[in-house]
C-alpha cells in the first residue's frame, strides 16, 4: 500500500473569449477570488499557464498574476507552478 497523498489543484489561463467576454478587472478579480477560495478549502496547488499573441486574453505572463492574490498564501500552500 502506498503512502502517497493525492493532491488537488486549480488551473487557470485567464482566457476571456468574445462570446463570454467580461471586463478584465472583473475576470482577474473573480479568478483570484477563486484561487483564495481553493486555498481556504484544501486545494494543494494552483497552476497558471501563459501564451503570447492570443486575442482572447490568454494570460501573457504569469509573473504579475500571483502577487495580486487577495491574501498572503498560507504556510501550507504550494508555490505557483506554470507551464
pLDDT given for residue 10 in this prediction: 93
Q: What angle do CA 48, 54, 59 make, to 5 degrees?
A: 25
Q: Render pLDDT for 36-59 as a digit per residue (tens, 0 to 9).
A: 999 999 999 988 887 776 777 677
> What is the overall mean pLDDT for the chain?
77
What cell numbers appear for 21 in the block?
467576454
pTM of the model: 0.67
Say which residue, 34 or 58, is predicted with more confidence. 34
pLDDT given for residue 50 in this prediction: 76
Q: What angle do CA 42, 13, 8 make, to 5 degrees?
A: 20
Amino acid at each position: 500500500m502506498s503512502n502517497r497523498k493525492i493532491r488537488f489543484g486549480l488551473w487557470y489561463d485567464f482566457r476571456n473569449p468574445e462570446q463570454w467576454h467580461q471586463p478584465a478587472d472583473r475576470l482577474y478579480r473573480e479568478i483570484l477570488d477563486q484561487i483564495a477560495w481553493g486555498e481556504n478549502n484544501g486545494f494543494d496547488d494552483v497552476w497558471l499557464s501563459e501564451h503570447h499573441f492570443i486575442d482572447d486574453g490568454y494570460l501573457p505572463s504569469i509573473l504579475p498574476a500571483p502577487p495580486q492574490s487577495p491574501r498572503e498564501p498560507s504556510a501550507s500552500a504550494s508555490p505557483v507552478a506554470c507551464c
